[in-house]
Amino acid sequence: MGYDVVRNEDLSWEERPAHEGQAPRHTASVTDAAKMEESRARMWRYPPHVRGRRHLDPEQEEVFVPIQGTLTMLLGEPPERVDVEPGGVVVVHIGTPMQARNETDEEITFFAFGAPPRHGNAQFLEDVETL
């Protein structure tokens, strides 16, 4: 029993590789900061016009919550574009193709949560153009 409070100053931000010609993304592990064991969580910052890798996870459900700016997700096969503003939530079920994107001119920040806490099993897919 117990709890952890993770404040922005507790997070250690690291750079993640970007697609060719794009600015890098930044991420911070909430999992590590809160010593989580049964799930995984990260904060993400995407500069304008940056996208993550299109993939599916065969073992993990994921939840995405925009904090600042509009998060664009490409979901399913064929991909469907979904734009989510702060206050909205996207739940991606196991085995569903997905890609997080920033299609705006402003930086976006979002929270991503996954369970169970498996890592490294994602199947990466061919990228698609903006829908």
- Domain boundaries, position 86: 39-102+112-120
- Which stretches of the chain are DSSP H helices? 30-34
> For position 7, what pLDDT does the model report?
96
Three-point CA angle 84, 88, 94, nearest 5°: 80
**pTM (2 decimals)?**
0.94
Domain annotation covers residue 59: yes
Q: What is the CATH number of the domain that holds 74?
A: 2.60.120.10
Q: How far apart are CA 70 and CA 57, in angstroms?
A: 23
Domain count for the chain, please give it. 1
Domain annotation covers residue 23: no
**Successive 10-residue mean pLDDT values, the chain, 131 residues:** 93 92 96 95 98 96 98 98 99 98 98 90 88 67
